[in-house]
Amino acid sequence: MARSGNKAAVVLCMDVGSAMSNSLPGEESPFELAKKVMTMFVQRQVFAESRDEVALVLFGTDGTENALAGKDQYQNITVHRHLMLPDFDLLEDIERKIQPGSQQADFLDALIVCMDVIQQETVGKKFEKKHIEVFTDLSSPFSKDQLDVIIHNLKKFGISLQFFLPFPVGKEDGTGDRGDGNSSSDHHEPSFPLKGITEQQKEGIRMVKKVMMSLEGEDGLDEIYSFSESLRQLCVFKKIEKRSIPWSCMLTIGSSLSIKIVAYKSIIQERVKKSWTVVDARTLKKEDLQKETVYCLNDDNETEVPKEDTIQGFRYGSDIVPFSKVDEEHMKYKSEGKCFSVLGFCRSSQVHRRYFMGNQVLKVFAAKDDEAAAVALSSLIHALDELDMVAVVRYAYDRKAHPQVGAALPYIKDAYECLIYVQLPFMEDLRQYMFSSLKNNKKYIPTEAQLSAVDALIDSMSLVKKDEKEDTIEDLFPTSKIPNPQFQRLFQCLLHRALHPQEPLPPIQQHILNMLDPPTEVTAKCQILLSKIKTVFPLTEAIKKKDQVTAQNIFQDNHEEGPTSKKLKTEEGEACFSISLAEGSVTSVGSVNPAEDFRVLVRQKKATFEEG
């Protein structure tokens, strides 16, 4: 698909000719697979809030609708949608309005129409990339007359090209595997078995390879995809593309040393965008809902109070402390503005990883084109690295932000070097808990066999594989490359609800569940050790002992016997004592809980009505 980056103009060119609907029994036709690939691409663009503009051109249609159509030229080619931002309307068109045609059209003519759409509709707009994606089974006849002109104009106007076919195309011969071991075994592969490809399709493959090699040489063949390969790559929704905004500041050490720096957010917790809008359930229009807020006193008449006559109040126990806007402004911390000031230095061993907090990590670089700042910051980074120390800094984003205390750690790579800023906790942020040691109870001290079994299990479940010979480490479960399943599920449900408003939501897609499964290599290694754990930690059923009836229960001691009234009085006395403790000192009927206050006063026999 179109490479990620700056704004792009993308034309989807789909073959809807009669041959696209042919398929073997029990398999999806190339027409349906092409629609699936296009749907996945467009939905990724929609949910990623991409600025790319997308057009849709169909060839093999029963009618003709394009700017180049003449008496006998560019027939059965339709520009279904012009360049614009992708939306749910386009997704609905792909799903419902695109139907198989009964005609055939030249895919090279369709390419020329797509190029014309790009040329005419990008005038006055700035696009970094221009791109055409062709979905076809190559069953339609084509003319080579304008091939050289097509290749020349693609190069001249910087238009890149990709082909999506029902079968894989190899580099050596007409068809074959692209090197993906799963290609031939995938359930989508291919509607036409390789041995069943027609002569027309073989001629089409040779033409496609000639075009791609003329544009990009041998690398051009990598831009020819099978439908099944594309479905595997597009099954995950693309993340929202966001530009990294630089934060400029002065790194200060004491009062005499300042370094111009620029910080970028390296890691930040991504949250679901809350763009829900409340609409009328019948008309689905926001304008049909009128929101009205009324403030009333908590009295029998529910007296209405104007909003300007209300202020905030904080409840402490039964008291409400009024807190006006003026009080709130005076309470706020007055900062001098953005700040990145070094408070001191400490050993890196003193800054434990468990102290890292906050929802972001910053990478701090020297200001661009400032040689003095680059030299000074580089010296600081290397000094911290050599001394195995970190800088403790005071960080404030701007005048309105609360200041933070954080650690600036040196980070040196081959390509660049910088400081990594991570927020550290204040005293109130730390939770200190004291737990008794399990070793103090002999009953819970594990044996050597149990300890070694657990150690072996932990080692077998390691998600990092180390190669001792080459001194390399392989991450078996790279979390940084796994998309958030919450986003994937949300986008899946939103798309389904937009296209099928009356149907129930679909089940979670299997590939989302598979993403969170542990690697099979790890699962296989720990099975034997889990069996050993069961052996060294035997579980025995705890049988509840039956209550035994003893003579003491039957013939109770004399001192437990006594007048019933006396026992009740004692119990009542204890109950009254506990109630009085819970009630505290109540001397009047308040406004918070008047009914309960009244009952308490009635129970206090010493209180008079004047006191109440």
pLDDT by residue (tens digit) across 438-489? 777 777 788 899 999 999 999 999 998 887 777 788 888 888 888 888 888 8
Which of 380, 411, 433 is the last residue in one of the domains? 433
Confidence at 187, pLDDT banded by 50, 70, 90: very low
Confidence at 180, pLDDT banded by 50, 70, 90: very low
Q: What is the pLDDT of residue 110?
A: 93
Which of 206, 234, 262 is the last residue in one of the domains? 234
Is residue 166 within 8 Å of residue 226, measured between CB atoms?
Answer: yes
Q: What is the number of other CB atoms lying within 10 angstroms of the CB of residue 490?
A: 15
In this prediction, residues 169-181 reach a mean pLDDT of 50
Q: Are residues 111 and 205 in the same domain?
A: yes
Tell whether 522 is covered by a domain: yes
Task: Show the domain range for 355.
Answer: 242-433
365 φψ region: left (φ > 0), alpha (ψ -120 to 50), beta (else): beta
Q: How many CA atoms lie within 13 A of 273 on its CB side?
A: 9
pLDDT by residue (tens digit) across 102-135? 888 999 999 999 999 999 999 888 898 999 999 9
Q: What is the pLDDT of residue 555?
A: 60
Tell whether 515 is covered by a domain: yes
Q: 3-state SS string over 374-422?
A: HHHHHHHHHHHHHHCEEEEEEEECCCCCCCEEEEEEEEECCCCEEEEEE
Q: Are residues 326 and 230 in the same domain?
A: no
Confidence at 417, pLDDT banded by 50, 70, 90: very high
In this prediction, residues 379-394 reach a mean pLDDT of 96
Tell whether 426 is covered by a domain: yes
Q: CATH no. for residue 497?
A: 1.10.1600.10
* pLDDT at position 27 over 70: yes
Q: Are residues 91 and 169 in the same domain?
A: yes
| The residue to which tokens 């990145």 are assigned | 340
Q: Are residues 328 and 273 in the same domain?
A: yes
* pLDDT at position 4 over 70: no
Tell whether 542 is covered by a domain: no
Q: CATH no. for residue 165?
A: 3.40.50.410
Q: What is the pLDDT of residue 176?
A: 46
More confident: 57 or 542 = 57
Q: Are residues 160 and 281 in the same domain?
A: no
Tell whether 611 is covered by a domain: no
* pLDDT at position 247 over 50: yes
Q: Model-level pTM greater than 0.85?
A: no
Q: What is the pLDDT of residue 194?
A: 55
Q: Are residues 102 and 199 in the same domain?
A: yes
Tell whether 608 is covered by a domain: no
Structure tokens at 314: 């904080």
Q: Are residues 86 and 60 in the same domain?
A: yes
Percentage of the chain exceeding pLDDT 90: 34
Q: What is the pLDDT of residue 173?
A: 47
Residue 58, strand partner residues: 14, 78
Residue 11, strand partner residues: 55, 132
User: Which of 225-234, 271-280, 303-312 shows the highest mean pLDDT?
Assistant: 303-312
382-404 burial, b at 16+ Cβ within 10 Å, e below that, comes to eebbeeebbbbbebbbeeeeeeb
CA 431 distance to own-chain centroid: 29
More confident: 10 or 488 = 10
Q: Are residues 447 and 310 in the same domain?
A: no
Q: Are residues 214 and 303 in the same domain?
A: no
Q: Count Cβ atoms within 10 A of the Cβ of residue 27 and give its class: 0-12 exposed, 13-18 middle, 19 or more buried.
A: middle
Q: What is the pLDDT of residue 170?
A: 67
Tell whether 29 is covered by a domain: yes
Is residue 429 within 8 Å of residue 354, measured between CB atoms?
Answer: no
Confidence at 356, pLDDT banded by 50, 70, 90: very high
* pLDDT at position 213 over 80: yes
Residue 414 CA: distances (Å) to CA of 299, 348, 417, 478:
72, 22, 8, 22
Phi, psi of 507 (to 5 degrees): -70, 165
To the nearest 10°, report the CA torsion of 290, 295, 298, 301: -70
Which contiguous run of DSSP H or E holds residue 79?
strand 77-84
Q: What is the pLDDT of residue 217?
A: 78
Tell whether 2 is covered by a domain: no
- The alpha-carbon radius of gyration of the chain (Å, integer) is 36
In this prediction, residues 163-191 reach a mean pLDDT of 54
Q: What is the pLDDT of residue 144?
A: 86
Q: What is the number of other CB atoms lying within 10 angstroms of the CB of residue 495?
A: 20
Q: Are residues 385 and 308 in the same domain?
A: yes
More confident: 274 or 410 = 410
pLDDT by residue (tens digit) across 485-528? 888 888 888 888 888 888 999 999 888 888 888 888 889 889 98
Q: What is the pLDDT of residue 436?
A: 80
| The residue to which tokens 């690697």 are assigned | 519
Mean pLDDT (the chain) is 83
In this prediction, residues 373-395 reach a mean pLDDT of 96
Q: Are residues 38 and 70 in the same domain?
A: yes
Residue 129, strand partner residues: 8
Tell me the helix, strand and coil percentages in the chain, rounded to 5: 35, 20, 40
Confidence at 600, pLDDT banded by 50, 70, 90: confident
Q: Are residues 188 and 82 in the same domain?
A: yes
In this prediction, residues 318-325 reach a mean pLDDT of 86
Domain total in the chain: 4
In this prediction, residues 167-174 reach a mean pLDDT of 64
Q: What is the pLDDT of residue 405?
A: 96
Which of 416, 433, 450 is the last residue in one of the domains? 433
Q: 3-state SS string over 234-263?
A: HCCCCCCCCCCCCEEEEEEECCCEEEEEEE
* pLDDT at position 274 over 70: no
Q: What is the pLDDT of residue 299?
A: 82
For 545-595, give the DSSP string: PPPPP-HHHHS--GGG---HHHHHHHHHHHHHHHHHHHH----S--SSSHH
Q: How many residues would you count in the chain? A: 612
Is residue 318 within 8 Å of residue 592, measured between CB atoms?
Answer: yes
463 φψ region: left (φ > 0), alpha (ψ -120 to 50), beta (else): alpha
In this prediction, residues 388-399 reach a mean pLDDT of 95
SS3 at position 465: strand
Structure tokens at 275: 């763009």
Q: What is the pLDDT of residue 571?
A: 47
* pLDDT at position 263 over 90: yes
Q: What is the pLDDT of residue 341?
A: 95
